[in-house]
Amino acid sequence: MKKLLRYRLFWPLVALIALVVVNTIASPQFIAITVRDGQLYGTPIDILRTSAPLMLVALGMTIVIAT
């Protein structure tokens, strides 16, 4: 357990999970995903859809810096 607490990503992941739990309790529709006309809709899908370009740029920059 002590090794897990020293892991660098442990506390940020705990904070992220806590935020998701609080938002889900405050608004049950926060985590709801629906399918309409063959398309996925919902807050998690919107978050992934809007952050995808930034993640691709970050991945590309990481590859360029690493080589």
With 0.75 as the threshold, say if the pTM is over it.
no
pLDDT greater than 80 at residue 26: yes
pLDDT attached to residue 6: 78
pLDDT greater than 80 at residue 4: no
pLDDT greater than 80 at residue 13: yes
From CA 38, how far away is CA 7, in angstroms rounded?
40
- Which residues does 3 contact at the CB level (< 8 Å), separation at least 6? none
From CA 10, how far away is CA 65, in angstroms rounded?
26
